């Protein structure tokens, strides 16, 4: 049987010329102290301007990152918690020394290779994802919020096998 591929000899390739991060920055202009990307996107100055221009961004982001079975109230709570997070830097943040008050102000177009719309929202979404995973992790460690917990009530009902009280716990230990 003949092969349908041609034989290729081993060739040495030098990877020293290939950069792992071969990113070039998009052109950035500063107009009235505001960053403007090459696509004409004007980076919001602070959280208030961000929320005024994109009021549904955080709500839509949360909606895309929770399960469909998540109660509507939990989605609202997480949305409000993330809005509060974006609105106020922690007291011990290194960015406070530079006079920044919120997460939107910490966006640095030089670190993100530009100030266009996609790079700015990538930064905001990264911040949201980090905080959301922290909130979700804390919630999973909270025994009240975990599903599948055994209810410890004061009364015993033989028809409800998912509940346990002190007297039935003592019976299971002694048997």
- Round to whole Å and give the CA distance between 50 and 43: 8
How wide is the angle at C-alpha 142 spanned by C-alphas 139 and 161, nearest 5°?
115
Most confident listed range (44-53, 67-76, 101-110): 44-53
What per-residue confidence (pLDDT) applies to 164? 53
Q: Do the Cβ atoms of 52 and 87 come closer than 8 Å? A: no
Q: Give residue limits of the domains in the chain.
A: 23-144
Instruction: Give DSSP secondary structure letters for 23-78.
Output: --PPP-EEETTEEE-TTSPBPPSSHHHHHHH-TTHHHHHHHHHS-TTS-HHHHHHH
pLDDT digits (tens, 9 = 90+) for 138-172: 777 777 766 665 555 655 455 555 555 555 555 55
Distance in angstroms (rounded) separating the CA atoms of residues 106 and 35: 12
Q: Is the pTM of this model over 0.85?
A: no
């Amino acid at each position: 049987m003949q092969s349908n591929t041609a034989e290729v000899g081993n060739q040495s390739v030098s990877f020293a010329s290939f950069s792992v991060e071969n990113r070039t920055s998009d052109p950035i202009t500063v107009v009235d102290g505001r960053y403007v990307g090459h696509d004409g996107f004007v980076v919001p100055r602070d959280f208030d301007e961000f929320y005024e221009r994109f009021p549904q961004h955080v709500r839509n982001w949360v909606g895309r990152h929770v399960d469909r079975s998540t109660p509507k109230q939990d989605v609202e709570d997480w949305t409000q918690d993330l809005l509060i997070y974006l609105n106020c830097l922690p007291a011990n943040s290194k960015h406070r020394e530079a006079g920044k008050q919120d997460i939107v102000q910490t966006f640095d177009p030089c670190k993100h290779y530009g100030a266009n719309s996609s790079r700015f929202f990538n930064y905001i979404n990264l911040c949201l994802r980090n905080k959301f995973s922290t909130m979700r992790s804390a919630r999973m460690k909270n025994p009240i919020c975990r599903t599948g917990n055994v209810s410890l009530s004061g009364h015993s009902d033989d028809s409800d096998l998912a509940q346990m009280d002190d007297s039935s716990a003592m019976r299971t230990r002694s048997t």
